[in-house]
């Protein structure tokens, strides 16, 4: 709860709920949650609570992934001003000659931390291993290429802006080989975002 907190370079594990929770009430923003590794959680790695979920249970269990911000009012009723999680442009990205390029959109100029997900059973993380940090451009577009990730690797990401804070995890995507049969990516249902475009 509150503004301007920093949770940096921690190993956050074995929680009966989310890893880090940011309150909506009292208003809380500019909370930076960067450089952390998460594992063995019963909720999201990072959870930005909405003001409809302010009971003790919501901080312990999490209120699930937030929809993409669709109005300025969302900045007022959600932790960290409802900063949008990164949105990858596909659920699967394919290896070509051992290389894979990932594309997505996020808040303009946001710092994007790409994570590998090694634990099964969640659609949004957990954020198990930091792979790379990049920056979105002025339109919010970001891209990154890896040449050392095998087929089957699961990826998520978070976005950080100093004036807003850190986002929830992106919906997981999978790296696949072009000649492999389609494999289900998600095994546990978590409420997905209900908007198709990022809005300011």
Task: Quote the radius of gyration of the chain (alpha carbons, Å).
Answer: 16
- Listed residue (96, 50, 102) closest to 76, CA to CA: 50
In this structure, is residue 26 part of a structural domain? Answer: yes
Please compute the mean of the pLDDT values over residues 92-104 and round it to a whole number.
96
pLDDT at position 17 is 86
29-69: pLDDT as tens digits: 999 999 999 999 988 999 998 876 666 666 666 567 888 88
Instruction: Give the model's pLDDT for residue 185.
Output: 55
User: pLDDT exceeding 70 applies to what percent of the chain?
Assistant: 84
Helix segments in 40-181, DSSP class H: 56-61, 73-77
Dihedral of the alpha carbons of 38, 24, 166, 195, in degrees to the nearest 10 = 100
121-133 pLDDT, tens digit each: 789 999 999 999 9
What is the residue range of 121's domain?
A: 6-177
Give Cα separations from 192 to 79, 144, 147, 174 (angstroms): 18, 24, 30, 17
Q: Residue 99: pLDDT above 90?
A: yes
Instruction: Please report whether residue 184 resides in a domain.
Output: no
Q: Is residue 95 part of a domain?
A: yes
What's the pLDDT score for residue 66?
85
Number of domains forming the structure of the chain: 1
18 in a domain, yes or no?
A: yes
Assigned domain for 188 exists: no
User: Residue 189: inside a domain, yes or no?
Assistant: no
**pLDDT of residue 192 exceeding 90:** no
Tell me the H-state helices in the chain.
Answer: 56-61, 73-77
For residue 197, tell me if it sits in a domain: no
Residue 196 lies in a domain: no
Q: What is the CATH number of the domain that holds 128?
A: 2.60.40.10
């Amino acid at each position: 709860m509150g503004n301007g907190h920093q949770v940096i370079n921690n190993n956050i594990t074995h929680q009966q709920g989310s890893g880090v929770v940011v309150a909506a009430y009292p208003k809380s923003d500019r909370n930076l949650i960067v450089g952390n590794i998460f594992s063995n959680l019963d909720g999201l790695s990072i959870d930005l609570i909405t003001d409809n979920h302010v009971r003790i249970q919501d901080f312990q269990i999490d209120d699930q992934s937030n929809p993409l911000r669709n109005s300025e009012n969302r900045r007022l009723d959600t932790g960290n001003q409802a900063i949008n999680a990164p949105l990858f442009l596909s659920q699967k990205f394919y290896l070509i000659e051992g290389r894979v390029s990932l594309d997505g959109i996020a808040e303009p100029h946001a710092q994007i931390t790409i994570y590998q997900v090694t634990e099964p059973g969640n659609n949004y993380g957990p954020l198990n291993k930091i792979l790379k940090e990049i920056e979105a451009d002025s339109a919010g577009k970001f891209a990154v290429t890896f040449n050392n990730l095998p087929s089957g690797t699961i990826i998520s990401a978070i976005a950080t802006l100093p004036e807003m804070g850190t986002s929830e995890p992106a919906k997981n995507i999978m790296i696949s080989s072009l000649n492999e049969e389609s494999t289900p990516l998600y095994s546990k249902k978590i409420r997905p975002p209900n908007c198709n475009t990022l809005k300011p």
